[in-house]
Amino acid sequence: MSRISLQHIYKKYRKDQMVIKDFSLEIFENEFIVLVGPSGCGKTTILRMIAGLEEVTSGDFYINEARQNDKDPSGRNLSFVFQNYALFSNMTVYQNIEFGLLNKKMTRLEKRLAVEKIAKKLSLYEKLGFYPSHLSGGQRQRIALARALVDSNQLVLLDEPLSNLDAVLRAEMRTELIRFQKQYNVTSIYVTHDQTEAMTMASRIVLLIDGRIIQVGRPEQMYNNPNHLDVATFIGTPEINVFPAIYDGVKMISENNIFAISNEVRELLKDRVSANIYYAIRPQDVKVSEVKTPGMLLGKVEIIENFGYNKLLHIKAGGMMIKALVPSDFVIRDKLFVDLTGKGFVFEVGKKRISESKIKTLVLKGRRHFSAEENQVIRELKNYGYEIVMADCDTPENSYVIRCNNDKTYEIEGLKLKVHSLKELLNHLSDIR
């Protein structure tokens, strides 16, 4: 059972070369955290700092409330799976896995049993006498995984473990990794630059760009509710359409094209008439038809990418290149009308999302003292981006007031909701969002 807390972590390699800037994150038991971001954004550095292979320049890092900054890597009780597996070519598979138990106070027999148990789980039992060079990439990956899991450490760090595998094997190992994580109940931190891996495996995604956390959230949250243009472009395949645009009060203007947008977006933009913005819409939400209705754009299909179950059209409309996902039985004409009134996102020029003001602040009223368990949930709430105010002062705008009763029930004012634990409350809140 490992809980990890990273507080205001900075990392400097050389003077003025700040690689990680103010990285704060709480990781809870049995979570599968995926650190994702373009290459060079500092994901691996964070992982290496957690493992102790890299020093933390400033900030605090705790595992189960024990400060780890100055501990030796071996004192942190965690395992690391490397991108290139880091297997010892001079040792057999058995010896490689047993290396994970080096310096553990176990008898030879106990070690043997532990190794064989994990080898059976990872279907490596028949290969124990082989050398790594005789095995395939997937098998080597499993050896590295076995070595990480064999000493039953409660924290496993994985540094792009699948990037050396081919596409088929990667998909296979992905599901297997999720299965093992569930089976062994280990807290895992997984680094990847592949958003598909992040979306499919994570219980929570942390998106990093340039050493800064852009957004933390569950995969569906990242997809449906990106708070930043970079999140929107990074998460989701095919990549989202982004158009620099100006809103004229009724319609959107981009590259001399005028098109209609949904009422929700218009509502968001009502005080931003004729300001520069970005309009983004996922290819899934772009509608294509042969019949023109007002507000549609006339476009010409330039490229068709066929995925089998559907097709991705690259449509040129004036100066805009629009990607649209259509069913595979869609009949493609040369000239088509594109409808962009689907679910769109708008972003400021500074790339921040323009969204209707969401509940961001929670005001806790009533009790002032909380148990450790409650405090943990409060920290978790903060992690999800809530501002927590513990006061009886005026209620700020866009906030929920939560009344904490002495009998450990909680009421959300305005929602007429009464729950019996903060954890439950957390679930309700995430539903509301």
Residue in the block written with tokens 């792009």: 160
Cα–Cα–Cα angle for 139, 143, 144, nearest 5°? 120
Residues whose CB is less than 8 angstroms from the CB of residue 120 and which lie 6 or more positions away in sequence, other chains included: none
Q: How far is the CB of 151 from another protein (least distance, A)?
A: 8
Pick the closer one to another protein by CB: 13 or 88.
88
Pick the closer one to another protein by CB: 47 or 315.
47
The two tokens of residue 253 are 């203007």
Whether the CB-CB separation of 23 and 8 falls below 8 Å is answered with yes
110 in helix, strand or coil? helix
**Sheet harboring 204-209: ordered strands across?**
79-81, 155-159, 187-192, 32-36, 204-209, 212-217
Pick the closer one to another protein by CB: 17 or 103.
103
Q: How far is the CB of 110 from another protein (least distance, A)?
A: 16
- For residue 392, give the nearest of 381, 401, 384 by alpha carbon: 401
Q: How far is the CB of 186 from another protein (least distance, A)?
A: 15
Q: How far is the CB of 53 from another protein (least distance, A)?
A: 5
Pick the closer one to another protein by CB: 11 or 282.
11
Pick the closer one to another protein by CB: 144 or 207.
144
The two tokens of residue 375 are 């405090």
Please state whether beta strands 399-404 and 4-12 pair in parallel, antiparallel, or not at all (unpaired): unpaired
The two tokens of residue 108 are 């030879």
**b/e for 341-371, b at 16 or more Cβ within 10 A?**
bbebbbbeeebebeeeeeeeebbbbeeeeee
Q: How far is the CB of 179 from another protein (least distance, A)?
A: 24
Whether the CB-CB separation of 177 and 201 falls below 8 Å is answered with yes
Q: How far is the CB of 79 from another protein (least distance, A)?
A: 7
Q: How far is the CB of 80 from another protein (least distance, A)?
A: 5
Pick the closer one to another protein by CB: 102 or 109.
102
Q: How far is the CB of 82 from another protein (least distance, A)?
A: 4
Q: Which residue intervals of 128-207 are DSSP H helices? A: 137-149, 167-184, 195-201
Q: How far is the CB of 98 from another protein (least distance, A)?
A: 10
Pick the closer one to another protein by CB: 155 or 324.
155
- For residue 310, give the nearest of 283, 272, 342, 292 by alpha carbon: 283
What letter does residue 228 receive in the DSSP assignment? B
Enumerate binding residues for another protein (CB under 8 A). 51-53, 72-75, 78-80, 82, 84-86, 88-91, 99-100, 102-103, 133, 147
Pick the closer one to another protein by CB: 164 or 355.
164
Q: Give the span between the Cα atoms of 208 and 191, in whole angstroms.
A: 11
Q: Give the span between the Cα atoms of 189 and 187, in whole angstroms.
A: 7
Pick the closer one to another protein by CB: 26 or 151.
151
